[in-house]
Amino acid sequence: MQTSRSLELLKRMDWLLFGAMVLMAAGSVAFIYSASYRGEGQPMPDFYRTQMVWFGVGLVLYVAMALIDYRLICQGAVIWYVLAAGLLLFVLIAGTRVHGSKSWFGWRGYGVQPAEFAKLAVIVAISYYLFHRTPEQRRGWATVLGGLTLVVVPALLILVQPDLGSAMVLIPICFGLMFVAGVKVKHLVLVVALGACLLPVVWLKLKPYQKDRLTVFLHPNRDPLGAGWNLNQSLIAVGSGGFSGKGYLQGTQNLLGYLPRTVAPNDFLFSVIGEEKGFVGSACVVGLYAVILFSGLRIAANARDRLGTLLATGVVAMLFFHVFINIGMTIGLMPITGLPLPLLSYGGSFVLATMTALGLLQNIWIHRRVY
């Protein structure tokens, strides 16, 4: 592909979406800095610098992803899917155990979580699968079962790591795609009902800490010094931010370590923002996500073909689920799961996966049909 042609294509990208992403990245670095700040003269962890590196690498992936025609990428859907499943299997054998989960490939302190890329592979695989079914087939049971099968394999592999949150993300992706692809609502409802019947079985299979998180969600004050600690401290942090916040680097909950330092830069970064920037800051974050999500949906609606629509919907479903669960959990609306906040939370794999996904959105937008 020629450079001039690439530039030509890049000029066509959705600059609003790009702008929102850059703002998010800047905010991410700034608040990861704040989340690891411990006061003057105290040693400063390198998280914010590392995150900058990830955004740099992510930008390369983003551009590459935007330029290679998505239809070409989807030609290899089977390869991506098998590769992702293979990595998930391999990480169970050769991965590094971090906080009790075997979900990382570690190298010199840097880690890669295959589950994050598996999400993308699943989006591509299901979209490609549904794209190749005829409208009649999509109204039959076979398509539903096919889509579910594609999800169940990686979901189970992620679940045994165990990483309940990431496994759960696959469900809205799958249902969102099937819904938009035209699967009968009746079928989807039936599947959900069956899944609900399986919930007690899932409950029995949950690890004790996962059960704790769920019971804490239902009764936040039952064990405020134990399982409820993170939730309570996060609530205090976000709540005490008030309307306009305590100011940058002034969040005492975070500064004093009430909001545990191990989770503040990643899963609970939103609590830091909420405390230091108040409702104004929170609303800005939600607003920027709105820009990204609605841009994604606009791209889905304007895609050249159904494949583009499905891919974009899958990306939107994934990001929305992350945003809703993560922000919801910081204020007790959702149970605590280790789902990071797209583009904000510290963590290489998810930054790269998110930027790849956004690159894919730009790709669909660039290759849309313009009349």
Partner 1 sequence: MIITAPYRDRNPRLAIIVGIVSSGLLLLLLALWHVQVMRGGHYDIRGDAQSLRRIRIPSARGEIVDRNGVVLANNRPSYDIAIYLDQLKRESKRQRIYSVAQASVGALSVKLGLPYTLSEASVTNHYYKRRPIPMPVWRDLKPETVAAFAERASTQPGADLIVMPVRQYPQGALAAHLLGFVAKAQQTGGDDEDVERFYYYQPDSVGKQGVELACDEYLRGAPGGKTIRVSPSGNLVEDLGEKKAERGCRVTLTIDASYQRIAEEALARAPLEGKELRGAVVVLDVRTGEVLASVSAPAFDPNIFNPGTPPPVITGIFNNPASPMLNRSIGAKYAPGSTFKTITLLAGLEAGMIAPSDTWECKGSLQIGNRVFKCHGTHGVVDAMKAIRESCDVWFYQEGMKMGADVIARMAGQFGFGQSTGIDVGRDVTGFVPSPAWKRMERGERWWPADTAQLSIGQSDLLVTPLQLACAAAQFATGGVRMRPCVVKKIHTISGEIVHDAVPEVAGRLNVRAQNLEFVRRAMLGAVNESDGTAHRAAVPGLSVAGKTGTAEYDVRIEGQTRRFNRAWFMGFAPYDKPQIAVAVMLEDARSGGGVAAPVAGEIFARMFQKKRSATGDSGVYAD
Given the rule CB under 8 A, which residues bind partner 1? 176, 179-180, 182, 235-243, 252-253, 256-258, 274, 278-279, 282-283, 286, 289-290, 293-294, 297, 300-303, 309, 313, 316-317, 320, 323-324, 327-328, 331-333, 368-371
CB of 64 to partner 1, least distance (A): 25
CB of 256 to partner 1, least distance (A): 5
Whether 128 contacts 70, CB under 8 Å: no
CB of 42 to partner 1, least distance (A): 11
Nearer to partner 1 (CB atom), residue 156 or residue 333: 333
CB of 232 to partner 1, least distance (A): 8
Nearer to partner 1 (CB atom), residue 135 or residue 200: 135
CB of 258 to partner 1, least distance (A): 5
CB of 240 to partner 1, least distance (A): 4
CB of 7 to partner 1, least distance (A): 20
SS (H, E, C) the chain: CCHHHHHHHHHCCCHHHHHHHHHHHHHHHHHHHHHHCCCCCCCCCCHHHHHHHHHHHHHHHHHHHHHCCHHHHHHCHHHHHHHHHHHHHHHHHHCEEECCEEEEEEECCEEECHHHHHHHHHHHHHHHHHHCCCHHHHCCHHHHHHHHHHHHHHHHHHHCCCCHHHHHHHHHHHHHHHHHHCCCHHHHHHHHHHHHHHHHHHHHHCCHHHHHHHHHHHCCCCCCCCCCHHHHHHHHHHHHCCCCCCCCCCCHHHHCCCCCCCCCCCCCHHHHHHHHHHHHHHHHHHHHHHHHHHHHHHHHHCCCCHHHHHHHHHHHHHHHHHHHHHHHHHCCCCCCCCCCCCCCCCCHHHHHHHHHHHHHHHHHHHCCCCC
Nearer to partner 1 (CB atom), residue 43 or residue 208: 43
Nearer to partner 1 (CB atom), residue 58 or residue 340: 340
Nearer to partner 1 (CB atom), residue 84 or residue 255: 255
CB of 63 to partner 1, least distance (A): 22
Whether 83 contacts 120, CB under 8 Å: no
Nearer to partner 1 (CB atom), residue 157 or residue 315: 315
Nearer to partner 1 (CB atom), residue 84 or residue 318: 318
CA distances from 51 to 3, 117, 125, 131, 202 (A): 29, 18, 29, 36, 35
CB of 153 to partner 1, least distance (A): 25
Nearer to partner 1 (CB atom), residue 241 or residue 348: 241
Nearer to partner 1 (CB atom), residue 51 or residue 313: 313
- Reading phi first (left if > 0) and then psi (alpha if -120 to 50, else beta), residue 97 is in beta
Whether 310 contacts 131, CB under 8 Å: yes
